[in-house]
Structure 1
Amino acid sequence: MDNKWIPVLALPDATPEFLKISDICYTSLKRGKIIFHTLGKDYQLISNIEELYSLLYTFEFRKTDRGTLVHIANMVHFDESYRKIYFDRMITKHSKYATVSSNNISNVVKFMRERDRQPAPDHPLPMNKLP
């Protein structure tokens, strides 16, 4: 259990961070929010997409739709006509995909261009070039 972490908001300023589970002394409920208490600080469990986004943004997650956060490093292909981001090199009817709102199409294209300029080691092909 020493290497398990929970995304939380450090109180009182709601700074997003990860809390080591083994550091938790007890939990409580305050105004409907789960609070984790440690010896040094209190933390609130992340409870909505905006709070999660504030934490994951630094790990290259971007919002592509109302309730969708996408890890840029795992994007493989963007189908602009269907507004779907795929994560598999070979797209099948079972492929995982994330939706993109019409307002975010240009952002996704920008993410892909930036990514193509500096391909990640685990993605040897540019994202828009499927085998």
Structure 2
Amino acid sequence: MTERIEVDQLGVARASDDCRTAGTDAGTHLARLLAGLTKGAIEAAAGRDDYGRQITDGWANSQAETFPDFAKGIEEQLIGRGDQMSSCGENARATDDAAAQQVRATDLGLTQTSQGWATLPPDQAV
């Protein structure tokens, strides 16, 4: 008899959605956070006099222009993980459904053959 697996489909769906939401939030906030921290660190290190402002004005040398791309990469990774979890959940559900069908067929004394369904021999029936 085929063993059935149990999958928490709602749990998988919630985890997938949470991952996608986290990805979107990361993309929205991370670049701004990194830019603010970097500018703040440069200002603190340089001081707030004219020389410090010149350094701060040139803070793009810190590669801050890459922060949005970095944040977008994290967003895409998290959203991709959410999509993978959804796919795994769907595969598990399909496997569970197939196992359930096999269990029902076995309970009815049927087996699947290349030509369709056949009755199990009496010594193999449940």
State if a TM-score over 0.5 links the two structures. no
Q: Which has the higher helix share?
A: 2
Structure number with greater CO (CA < 8 Å, separation at least 6) is 2
Q: Which entry has the higher C-alpha Rg, 1 or 2?
A: 2
